[in-house]
Amino acid sequence: MYGAGDVRVETVPNPVIQEPTDAIVRIVAGCICGSDLWPFASKKASEHGARMGHEFVGVVEELGSATSGLSVGDFVIAPFVASDGTCDFCREGLQTSCRHGGHWGGTEDGGQGEFARVPQAAGTLVVVPAGFDEKLIPSLLSLSDVMSTGYHAATKARIEPGQTVTVIGDGAVGLSAVLSARLMGASRIILMGRHEARTDLGREFGATDVVAERGEEGIAKVMQLTNGEGSHIVLEAVGHMPAYEQAYGIVRPGGVISRVGVPQYEDAPVGFGSLFGKNATLTGGPAPVRAYLEPAIQQVLNGEIDPGRVFDRRVAIDEVPAGYAAMDAREALKVMVTF
Ligand SMILES: [Zn+2]
């Protein structure tokens, strides 16, 4: 990406092993993230393009000498950050804060390309035990970010069976949060979103109510649906200030707001009129995807979840710029890139 609206497909040298802990992965499928749309809308023009993409599944092509647990030919999932799997944060299940972690893209390889050098490969990559299966690609790919991020929102909120959960945002993460709330036994799931095709999928994922209204109207609608009490749990999957305002407007006293939409703000209300007066808890952050992958892969392999349904468009590498435009115009919910 060279700047706002300027995505180009270019040929670069194939990656090579640089550290003994590296692996080279041939990417089978990657995707465009909602968070890639922020730079697509606002990135300053530059002479040097940034490599893009942080979600992928692929096949191990080559291994450094310190990559135990992996074999050439393994079908693997990469979380959206790299992690060593051994430091104190990794052992605590917070791989996003790994002391030796790394990010995709920029000057490093990204997930929207044919190959990637994977740092800390033994800690980062997770082998799909069933091996390569074409029809499972969308769901396995969704675990590298969106599904695991929705699940993280639900996990941080500590949803208990029988609770009312409201999800703000009908993007791929919001829909994944709906699916996760259902898995955790929420009895009522209110989805706030106004794109009908998306909220329809949200209903199939487990939403019991859809609120298309926003702002004060949206708050009033949720309060009305919950007999004036509000929602035990609010999962915020947007990141804009109005979404946060909706969240504290609808959270039930004693409830939890869990945010996984990357906040586009630093300053936000936390005082009496927002969180304090309600004894509300605010939590959330970037999902430590790596902590959730093994059980989530099993759920996909068992057919328990089908989160890959969020992908509604598939493009080849040459069509990636068009894929960005389609997601930016909200013509596509989530675009998969296949190689
Ligand atoms: Zn670590």
Q: How many angstroms is it from 294 CA to the middle of ligand 1? A: 17
* pLDDT of the residue at 101: 94
Distance, C-alpha 106 to centroid of its chain: 19
Predicted confidence at residue 198, as pLDDT, reads 97
Helices (H), 21-117: 37-42, 88-91
Instruction: Supply the DSSP symbol for 29.
Output: E
State in Å: Cα 96 to ligand 1 middle: 8
For 6, list phi and psi in degrees, rounded to 5: -120, 85
Cα–Cα distance between 166 and 186 in angstroms, integer? 10
Distance 77 CA to ligand 1 centre (A): 17
Compute the mean pLDDT over every residue in the chain, rounded to the nearest whole number. Answer: 97
Q: For residue range 245-304, list pLDDT tens digits in order.
A: 999 999 999 999 999 999 999 999 999 999 999 999 999 999 999 999 999 999 999 999
Give residue 159's pLDDT band: very low, low, confident or very high (50, 70, 90): very high
Q: Which two tokens stand for residue 259?
A: 């945010």
- Residues with Cβ–ion distance below 5 A, ligand 1: 83-84, 87, 90, 98
Q: Return the SS3 of 78.
A: strand
Ligand 1 centroid from CA 87, angstroms: 4
* Beta carbons within 10 angstroms of residue 40's beta carbon: 21
Q: What percent of the chain has pLDDT over 90?
A: 99
Q: How far is the CA of 37 from the centre of ligand 1 (A)?
A: 28
Q: Which pLDDT score, from 0 to 100, does residue 282 have?
A: 98
Distance CA 242, CA 327 (A): 21
pLDDT tens for each residue of 304-335: 999 999 999 999 999 999 999 999 999 999 99
Output the CA 220–ligand 1 centroid distance in Å: 44
Average pLDDT over residues 98-107: 94
pLDDT at 23: 98
Taking the CB of residue 195, how many other CB atoms lie within 10 A of it?
14
Can you read off the two tokens belonging to residue 232?
């035990």
Mean pLDDT of 203-211: 98
Ligand 1 centroid to 102 CA: how many Å? Answer: 10
pTM of the model: 0.97
DSSP 8-state symbol, 99:
T
Mean pLDDT across 21-43:
96
Q: Ligand 1 center to residue 144 CA distance, Å?
A: 17
SS3 content of the chain, % helix, strand, coil (to 5): 35, 20, 45
